[in-house]
Chain A
Amino acid sequence: NAGVTQTPKFQVLKTGQSMTLQCAQDMNHEYMSWYRQDPGMGLRLIHYSVGAGITDQGEVPNGYNVSRSTTEDFPLRLLSAAPSQTSVYFCASSDTGLAYSSYNEQFFGPGTRLTVL
């Protein structure tokens, strides 16, 4: 298993440009999520999905869109990038409809470092 994969690893955008961060998992996990990591702030949840066709907002959803057409993929779209979206983005998945429980955990991808100029 490749686990959770993310592409690209690095990206530089200009303000106003759009792009999609890709996330895929090959573990047949129901739950997938996107976080952003900013210095001094830890990880904050952007959007999550408990299964194909189902998505919901997290703590910081503004400026981001998601969809979940398959179990494997959970892309994150920035429609009009802003400098405030400069961050490291992590995708994660777990094998139930929850991020965590007594018997499961989230598995994280390696991250995408995004800079918006």
Chain B
Amino acid sequence: AQSVTQPDIHITVSEGASLELRCNYSYGATPYLFWYVQSPGQGLQLLLKYFSGDTLVQGIKGFEAEFKRSQSSFNLRKPSVHWSDAAEYFCAVGANPPRGNDMRFGAGTRLTVKP
């Protein structure tokens, strides 16, 4: 079964600085890959997903992620972080094509934004 690892439990960046959150997956082929954001007290919201084609994916709120097959990675980036980006971020992997519900989530990375 597929799995996903988020190596960083907590990251702190200054407002206006760039951001990169790491995600590594385990899967035998090209999977579906997702990034979700969870603001305090809220449910998860999809930022972006990848399943084929262009390896650089644009998402909402100015986020992007790059699929690198050779590194089994799908890192999330943002060029300039805003205070409102403080949240928890989850990477997830799913089989491709989809089967049942086999999405697996990483443990999450908590982002703190310093003024």
Chain B residue, CB-CB nearest to A6: B43
User: Is the Cβ of B45 less than 8 Å from the Cβ of A99?
Assistant: no
Which residues of the partner chain B approach A92 to less than 8 Å between Cβ atoms? Answer: 43-44
User: Is the Cβ of B107 less than 8 Å from the Cβ of A105?
Assistant: no
User: Is the Cβ of B98 less than 8 Å from the Cβ of A99?
Assistant: yes
User: Is the Cβ of A108 less than 8 Å from the Cβ of B108?
Assistant: no
Q: Does A74 contact B (CB under 8 A)?
A: no
Count class of interface residues, chain B:
20 to 34
With A100-B49, A110-B43: A42-B94 Cβ-Cβ less than 8 Å: no
A-B contact count (CB 8 A): 59
Q: What per-residue 1/0 map shows which CB atoms of B59-83 lie under 8 Å from chain A?
A: 0000000000000000000000000
Q: What per-residue 1/0 map shows which CB atoms of A75-117 lie under 8 Å from chain B?
A: 0000000000000001010000011111001111111000000
Q: Does B100 contact A (CB under 8 A)?
A: yes
Q: Tell me the complex Cα distance, A92–B100, Å.
A: 14
16 A-B pairs with CB atoms under 8 Å apart are A43-B90, A43-B92, A43-B105, A48-B100, A58-B101, A90-B43, A100-B94, A100-B98, A100-B103, A105-B46, A106-B103, A109-B43, A110-B41, A110-B42, A110-B43, A111-B41
Interface residues of B (CB under 8 A from A): 9, 32, 34, 41-46, 49, 51-52, 90, 92, 94, 98, 100-101, 103-108
